Copies of this chain bind each other. A is one copy, B any other.
Amino acid sequence: MTYCVGLVLDRGIVMMSDTRTNAGVDNISVFKKMVNWEVPGERVLTMMTSGNLATTQALVSILDERTKAPDERNPTLLTVPSMFQAATLVGQTLRNVIQDTNNISQSSGFSATIILGGQIAGSPPRLFNIYPEGNFIEAGDDTPFFQTGETKYGRPIIVRAYDPAMSFEEAIKLLLVSFDSTIKANLSVGLPLDVTVYAKDSLRVTQEFRITQEDEYFNVISNGWGAALKVAFSSLPDFSFGETDTAP
């Protein structure tokens, strides 16, 4: 499994992905699931992948090769004029990769889902969730974030604490709490975590870094969140049997 989250904030986009891949519990590896394409001053595209690793690696390689050997007939992520067309290109490429494999195998295990975020000069930042069929949806004011992979454990805290006006620092803290809850509950999601921060209209990757097991701040959050949750829990009034009607 995998866990990836992309958050749209008033001031930009924050993306975080884990790095654990597994084919059974006895075949666990670390692979980066986040890739950035950047033309400083003109565009930044950040993609996070979840699903079959052969599929997602092929997708990244094809998209990346095209940017290096551009062909007039083939648009590339570095030349498409809009985020919508970037999402379309990623979706079509993803669908083709999956179909190629499906022509040989009837298995449905080669699927993948993509989160694509970024900005191209002249338009605001946008965030897309791209499906194996190649179609996609865009984050909006009502649903300003996307999760893929093992999404459930870490969802309640995002639903409760997300605020579009939050700072990048707060957003990273929120995502670390969400990832830590997931990692504590599910073996298929694991450290290190990759992070890309994109400040609106900067048209450059603002920050790109990796958080490892040894990261001091991650351990402060991981240990502190357990304690903070217990304090929060204690702060709520206790249940009293008198308050609720008791059935016979």
Contact = CB atoms under 8 A, between A and B. Distances in A.
Copies of this chain assembled into the complex: 2
A26 interface: no
Contacts of A237: 217, 220, 224
Contacts of A181: 156
Interface in A199-231: 207-211, 215-217, 220-221, 224-226, 228-231
A244 interface: yes
Given A207-B246, A211-B244, A215-B244, A228 B236 contact: yes
Contact of A239 (B172, B208, B241): B172
A221 B232 CA distance: 11
A35 interface: no
26 contacts: A152-B153, A153-B153, A153-B155, A153-B156, A155-B185, A156-B156, A156-B185, A157-B233, A159-B185, A160-B226, A160-B229, A160-B230, A161-B233, A172-B239, A174-B233, A209-B245, A209-B247, A217-B240, A220-B236, A221-B236, A224-B236, A228-B233, A228-B235, A228-B236, A229-B232, A231-B232
The 9 closest A-B pairs by CB, nearest first: A152-B152, A228-B232, A232-B232, A156-B181, A172-B239, A169-B239, A169-B238, A161-B233, A160-B229
